[in-house]
Each structure stands twice: as structure tokens, then as C-alpha cells.
Amino acid sequence: MKHADTPSPVSFKANVGRLPQKGLPVVIDADPAQRAALAAEHELLSVENYRAELLVAPWKRNGVKVSGRVEADITQACIVTLEPVAAHIDEEVEALFLPEQSKLGRQGFEGGGEILIDAEGPDSPETFSGDTIDVGALAEQFFGLAIDPYPRKAGASLEAAGPDEPVENEFQQKLRSLLRKS
């Protein structure tokens, strides 16, 4: 996995110091080198295309709202057969940011009151320092979360090898017994 100080292959730092009231549109179309780096970073066979369309807009007094979509066509290895599996990603991107010194950002943590968390509700605002936010890295986070962690080729199953073939490991043995019970 990537370290926090390693920039995203699709890094795009938006200057949020003076945003237009209607927001700043940002479009990221990954080139072949960026797509290869995304594939390596997310353990994919390939990324055929990657496009993020974002709007970076003012939010409340000093905050920033980033919204839009990230779309990509990727190829992964099937977890059963290791054959290529194509997938399309179309993920909504939405995040709020507050400057580090913002009272809104500190209120929930220093106020000593309750913090209510709604799993279905919007995420809490993140903080940023300086005048830029890496909206490309943000889009990549949403891209990464949308990738199927267990891609499976149509029709592929653990039973496809046949019951007479040796079981590869203890995990697959347990999984087979669970599948037979259902």
C-alpha cells in the first residue's frame, strides 16, 4: 500500500485560497503512465481508462466541498481462475474540508459534548493546511473503495475444479464444506 507521503498517480492540487463562488471545475483524464501506476497501486491487471470530473466549491465560511464522479474501466484477476475480469467503476465523490485552524473542525473534539455518527450520513469534514487540496488523491480514494475486492469471472466457482481434485488449502476445504451445507 501507498505511504501517506507518496503522491497519488493522479495527483491534482487545487488552489482553494480564492475559489470562485460557483466553484472550480477539475477534470482528470489519466494518461497511460498514470493508468499503469494506478493498476500497480491497486493490484489490478490494467486500468483501460480513468476520468474524474470534480467541482471544488466554497462551503460554509472557510470550508471546501469537493463533489463529482470518478469513472474507470479496469481489468482484475478472477479470485478463482486468475483469468482477466473486466469491470466498470462509476463512483460518486463527495467530501468536505475545513482549514486546520477552523472552529467548526475543532468543535466536535474539544467541546466535550457528544459526537453523533450516522453510518449512512455524510462523512465528517477533513482538515487541510495551506491553500491546496489534492483532489486527484481524493478521487483515487473513492476509485479504490469501488474496486471489487473479490472479482469473479462469470460461472467461476470453487466447485468448477471437480470434487475428485485435491483441495489446495485448509481455507478452501472449509469453504467447500460450507457450500455443500447450503
Q: What is the mean pLDDT of the chain?
A: 83
Q: What is the pLDDT of residues 28-71, one digit of tens each?
A: 999 999 999 999 999 999 999 999 999 999 998 889 999 999 99
pLDDT band, very low/low/confident/very high, at 105 (cuts 50, 70, 90): low
The reply to whether 41 falls in a domain is: yes
Same domain, 113 and 168: no
Same domain, 119 and 78: yes
**Least confidently predicted of 28-32, 113-117, 152-156, 157-161:** 113-117
The reply to whether 127 falls in a domain is: yes
Same domain, 35 and 58: yes
The reply to whether 145 falls in a domain is: yes
Chain-centre distance for alpha carbon 167: 34
Same domain, 99 and 137: yes
Residue 166 structural domain: 157-182
Q: Which pTM value belongs to this model?
A: 0.74
pLDDT at residue 167 is higher than 50: no
Judged by DSSP in three states, 45 sits in coil
| Rounded average pLDDT over 76-88 | 92
Count Cα atoms within 13 angstroms, Cβ side, for 20.
6
Same domain, 30 and 83: yes
